[in-house]
Amino acid sequence: MTALFNDRRLQLLLLLAPGVGYLLFFFGTPLFQALRESLVTDQGDFTLMWYQRAFSRPSMVRGLTTSLYYGLAPVFVSLALSVPLSVLIRQSFIGRKLFNGLYKLPLAVPSLIAALAVIILAEQGGFLDRVLAHVGLSLPKIVRDDAGLGVIFTSAWKQVPFMTLIITSAFAAIPEDLRLAARAFGASRLQTFLRVEVPLAMPGISAAVLLTFIGSMGSYAIPDLVGPPSARPLSVLMVEGFKNGKFHEVYAMGMILSAFAIAVLIAYYTLTHRIGPQAVTGDER
Amino acid sequence: MSAIAAPVPLGEKRIRFTEEDRPLIAFGLFTALGLTVLLPLALMFLWSVADGWSPPNIVPAAYTGERWAAVLSNSDILNAGLTSLFVSVVVTLATAVIALPTAWAMARIPFRAKRLVEIFILAPMIIPGLVVAVGIGRLFLSLGLAYSISGVILVQIVGTLPLMIRLMTATLEGIPQELIHAARSLGAGTFGVLIHIILPLCVPGLLAGGLLSFVASFEEFDKTFIVGAPAVQTLPVRLYMYLDPYSMQLPMASVVAFLLLVPALIIFVIAGRVLRDDLMAAGMGKM
Amino acid sequence: MLDIQNITKDYGPSRALHPVSVSVDKGEFITILGPSGCGKSTLLRILMGISRPSSGEIHLAGKRIDPLPPEARDIAMVFQSYALFPHMSVEKNLGFGLRMKRVDKAEQKRRIAHALEICNLTALSARMPRQLSGGQQQRVALARAIVMQPSLMLFDEPLSNLDAKLRDSLRAELVDLHRKVGATSLYVTHDQAEAMAMSDRILVMNGGRVVESGSPVDLYRRPKHAFTAGFLGLTNLVPVRAHGLQAALPWDGDPVLLTEERNGIARMALRPEAIRLEKAHHSPAEVTSTTFLGSNVLHLVKVAGMELKVTRSGTEPILEPGARVAIAIDGLQHLLVESDSVEAA
């Protein structure tokens, strides 16, 4: 028995078993089942019908493009806010420490509450609308609107602190000497930022982009609550299909969503691989 | 949302800020923060205590504690709160117990397929939770775990486990081998090393992972909704019901939102004190 | 070429740099030497333009530069951490400054090729910094400064991250390169051996002040201040009574001959290698410790209530502790100028 226990291979297997085993059973199996189910008919014969449907039926195609749209648009909005924000909070200003603590608050706010906040604030008849009404204006429809602005705002609201946090630490990881070197060799502040800091922070920035994209693309609660009924993303269609027992269709959509996520992940790895992990910490020492 | 309105100068304007400009930056940042983060939370609170708040009014006409009283005496909501708490505690503990041995193997034992195992462990962070949920939902239907609290706990662990293993692996990797050798040479056995050296050094990692797992579980909606609702009602599921576009109840939703938010914010503040920023980002973003 | 006039730096009420004035001639290699916290880094930051002086002016090649931002100064820098841009190849690193200064493309190519060649890097031009060894990275950092053909080259302890052997060989290479390139150079270090081996002139700093400056030989042989004597190699501070060109030592023996006339009590910095020991059975001086260092031997000798450090060539017979010795002093000696407010700081 002791001899068996001392066997290194067995030891390794026993240690890995709880975590990997759990994930194999509760993550791997259902995912594999889903993949299989998406490829067979009700009778159990192989078919690509469900995928064909997903790419040809108008409501499904709409779902596909909407998922991508809800994945991408908030990322652009968040990026446009997070990069300047992380540059700004690096400066010293009054109350910087307080701001540093407060801006992260939305990290602790679940999507449902973010959606509620947007509804209260920006829905027609909501707070902003009432304020504008007092000066004789009216707020355009930005919650459950056809362009999905409500979804984009809500997702971005959750993402900006997360992105800012990652991008700030990516900037902070750049050795001060590199900044000084760029200045000493004739680069202005802006040139230093664009040619040295941004390229070096790129792994961090793209990781943030990747994670926020995957998060908002697969989100169900936000588009369901503040998205328009006219354009529903795959996630919403999946929940509806699941409730109606259309499993094959649901799993085909799930596989497509996962494929998007994996594709983005692979793109991320090929993109950052060229710079290499040491790029962020500067020279090897 | 109104995050758009943040008056943040863009990169092109990165002129050297003089001392006089700094109050301006501070003012701009805090205004943006107030409008985008604090104002919505304040409005939510007003909704929870408003006694009628019909359109033209910018602030409620009258206030009442009735909603809070109603919620706090409503056994459905109290039960939902207790369910949430129970699920989160069990999920957190189970996650830690399952994660530790695996993290130890990942951190300290070299083996060939390690990279592959690592990718597999992190995969649940990449695959959308909803996809996992619909897959598991079907499985649980056949196992009889659907619409049960145990089912909800099992599915939530899929979400919290990867992060915990990752955090613990990083923590365990940070324990110098010399320390273990030193303890051995001073007469500690395997068990002694575990109790006196490894566990104490794991505390920061465990604390970080535990707090993040708790919040993630407490706020989890997608997977719980698919696997457990309507039989199992946690606070987020309850909140979702109040937010149904066809029967929306903003005052009740606001009260439940606060019940959900307050524990999360408290843990967030504690976590902010114990955690490094990057860990926090990784955790809260369920990276 | 470089003219530093009365530069000071205050941080709030505390003064990090007392008025410093230095002028460096074209092509000169000058070293600022001092322990950490002596103000040398503050001075370097001011020269680079990252930090503004509280008062004073700096002129470089006839132009006042202290109000200018770093990028507008004609200065190139070699960093302690090398600070190579990790996302650029060796060649791109070299070209960075030239691109920033919009140097003509053909000229860029020519200068880069030349710098690669003289720094022995031509074969590595396509490599990324992380693929280079420490010594190679250091040479790239050097080449990156050389291509700029700056009016002034600054060196911030560039050899301190290398191991001892590599440091010696790179030190020789650096001296050689300076001879070839002829750039006006200001080198900051806390390593006295490095300073003595490389510099035309050394500026010794302590406590935010310049203690003294001079050629390596002058500073070593004829230091004016005890701090300099102590910082540049081993020394014995011996109180003496001077009379004309002679000085009496605190123990019995021949008086020491002086380089210049002085009268009264003074201190002398006696180098360990300037003291000769002979076995003498009834002498009051006694060897208390002996340390064999290979090429030489360090003895501690107790005499007149002091402990003298004495080095003897490793080829001489070794004196065992307890041996009685007679002490003689070689050559002309120099007395310290005692006005050392700097030492208190």
Nearest to B159 by CA among B228, B219, B102, B116: B219
Q: Are B48 and B255 in contact (CB under 8 A)?
A: yes
Q: Which amino acid is at A195?
A: R
Instruction: Give residue A274's pLDDT.
Output: 58
| Three-state secondary-structure class, residue C55 | strand
Cβ <8 Å between B2 and A122: yes
- State the nearest Cα–Cα gap between C150 and chain A, in angstroms: 10
Kindly report, residue by residue over C144-167, the tens digit of the pLDDT. Answer: 999 999 999 999 988 888 888 888
Instruction: Give residue A283's pLDDT.
Output: 34
pLDDT for A152 beyond 90: yes
Q: How confident is the model at residue A97 (pLDDT cuts 50, 70, 90)?
A: confident
- Is the omega angle on the peptide bond into residue B230 within 30 degrees of 0, that is, cis? yes
Cβ <8 Å between C100 and A275: no
Name the CATH superfamily housing domain C2-226: P-loop containing nucleotide triphosphate hydrolases (3.40.50.300)
Number of domains in chain A: 1
Q: Would you say domain B74-283 falls under CATH 1.20.1440.230? A: no
A36-43: Cβ within 8 A, 24+ apart: A37/A247, A37/A248, A37/A251, A37/B138, A38/A248, A38/A251, A38/A252, A38/A254, A38/A255, A40/A248, A41/A248, A42/A248
Q: Which residue has the higher pLDDT, B55 or A87?
A: A87
Q: Which amino acid is at C320?
A: E
Report if residue A10 sits inside a domain: no
- State the nearest Cα–Cα gap between A199 and chain C, in angstroms: 7
pLDDT for C90 beyond 50: yes
The CATH class, in words, for C234-329 is mainly beta
Other Cβ atoms closer than 10 A to B126: 18
Residue C30 CA to its chain's centroid (Å): 8
Among B187-191, C89-93, C117-121, C198-202, which is the least confidently predicted range?
A: B187-191
Which positions in chain C touch A170 (Cβ < 8 Å)?
none
Q: What is the rounded distance in angstroms from the CA atom of residue C311 to the CA atom of residue C289? A: 12
Instruction: Give residue B5's pLDDT.
Output: 38
Nearest to B87 by CA among B236, B243, B253, B261: B236
Q: How confident is the model at residue A273 (pLDDT cuts 50, 70, 90)?
A: low
**Partners of chain A (3+ Cβ pairs below 8 A):** B, C
Instruction: Give residue B275's pLDDT.
Output: 66
Cβ <8 Å between C134 and A285: yes
Identity of the highest mean pLDDT range in A73-77, B178-182, C15-19: A73-77
- State the nearest Cα–Cα gap between B97 and chain A, in angstroms: 9
Structure tokens at A108: 């602790």
Q: Which amino acid is at C177?
A: L
Q: Are A107 and B208 in contact (CB under 8 A)?
A: no
Query: Where in chain C are the domains?
Result: 2-226, 234-329
Kindly report, residue by residue over A164-195, the tens digit of the pLDDT. Answer: 988 988 898 899 899 999 998 989 889 999 99
Residue A63 CA to its chain's centroid (Å): 18
Q: How confident is the model at residue C187 (pLDDT cuts 50, 70, 90)?
A: very high
- Tell me what the mean pLDDT of segment C14-43 comes to: 90
Report if residue A4 sits inside a domain: no
Whether ipTM exceeds 0.85: no
Cβ <8 Å between C79 and A275: no
Kindly report, residue by residue over B79-126, the tens digit of the pLDDT. Answer: 889 999 999 999 999 999 999 999 999 988 888 888 889 889 988 888
Which positions in chain C touch A282 (Cβ < 8 Å)?
81, 83, 86
Q: What is the rounded distance in angstroms from the CA atom of residue C232 to the CA atom of residue C269? A: 11
Q: Which amino acid is at A205?
A: I
Which positions in chain C touch A195 (Cβ < 8 Å)?
96
- Which of B2, B14, B16 has its CB closest to that of A87? B14
- Contacts (Cβ under 8 Å, ≥6 apart) of C180: C118
Q: If you count residue pairs, one on A and one on C, with CB atoms under 8 Å apart, how many are there?
A: 86
| Buried b / exposed e along A72-87 (16+ C-beta atoms within 10 A) | ebbbebbbebbbbbbb
Q: Which amino acid is at B45?
A: F
Which positions in chain A touch B286 (Cβ < 8 Å)?
215
- Tell me what the mean pLDDT of segment A81-85 comes to: 92
Q: Are B77 and B238 in contact (CB under 8 A)?
A: yes
Cβ <8 Å between A247 and B138: yes
Q: What is the rounded distance in angstroms from the CA atom of residue A246 to the CA atom of residue C263? A: 110
Q: What percent of chain C has pLDDT over 90?
A: 37
Minimum CA–CA partner of A282 in chain C: C86
pLDDT for C307 beyond 50: yes
SS (H, E, C) chain A: CHHHHHCHHHHHHHHHHHHHHHHHHHHHHHHHHHHHHCCECCCCCECCHHHHHHHHCHHHHHHHHHHHHHHHHHHHHHHHHHHHHHHHCCCCCCCHHHHHHHCCHHHHCCHHHHHHHHHHHHCCCCHHHHHHHHCCCCCCCCCCCCCCHHHHHHHHHHHHHHHHHHHHHHHHCCCHHHHHHHHHCCCCHHHHHHHHHHHHHHHHHHHHHHHHHHHHHCCCHHHHHHCCCCCCCHHHHHHHHHHCCCHHHHHHHHHHHHHHHHHHHHHHHHHHHCCCCHHHHCCCC
Helix ranges (H only) for chain C are: 40-48, 90-100, 105-118, 134-146, 164-181, 192-198, 216-221, 226-231, 341-344
- Which phi and psi (to 5°) does residue A125 adopt? 90, -5
- State the nearest Cα–Cα gap between C143 and chain A, in angstroms: 12
Q: How confident is the model at residue A267 (pLDDT cuts 50, 70, 90)?
A: confident
| Three-state secondary-structure class, residue C200 | coil
Which positions in chain A touch C94 (Cβ < 8 Å)?
none
Kindly report, residue by residue over C96-132, the tens digit of the pLDDT. Answer: 999 988 899 999 999 999 999 988 899 999 999 999 9
Instruction: Give residue B8's pLDDT.
Output: 39
Query: Where in chain B are the domains?
Result: 19-64, 74-283
Q: Do domains C2-226 and C234-329 have the same CATH topology?
A: no
Q: What is the rounded distance in angstroms from the CA atom of residue A226 to the CA atom of residue B1? A: 12
**Partners of chain C (3+ Cβ pairs below 8 A):** A
Q: What is the rounded distance in angstroms from the CA atom of residue C191 to the CA atom of residue C209? A: 18
Burial class (CB in 10 A: 0-12, 13-18, 19+), C56: middle
Residues β-bridged to residue C239: C267
| Three-state secondary-structure class, residue C45 | helix
Minimum CA–CA partner of A226 in chain B: B245
Q: Classify B162 in phi/psi space as left (phi over 0), alpha (psi -120 to 50) or beta.
A: alpha
Q: What is the rounded distance in angstroms from the CA atom of residue A126 to the CA atom of residue A140? A: 11
Q: For residue A148, what is the domain's CATH number?
A: 1.10.3720.10
Domain, as residue range, for A39: 21-281
- State the nearest Cα–Cα gap between A206 and chain C, in angstroms: 16
Torsion of CA A124, A128, A134, A135, to 10 degrees: -110
Ranges under pLDDT 70 in chain B: 1-21, 274-287
Cβ <8 Å between B281 and A166: yes
Structure tokens at C155: 């060196």
Kindly report, residue by residue over A19-49, the tens digit of the pLDDT. Answer: 999 999 999 999 998 898 888 888 888 888 8
Neighbouring C-alpha atoms within 13 Å toward the C-beta of A85: 29
Nearest to C325 by CA among C306, C305, C299: C299
Report if residue A239 sits inside a domain: yes
Structure tokens at B286: 């369920």
Q: What is the rounded distance in angstroms from the CA atom of residue A72 to the CA atom of residue B274? A: 33
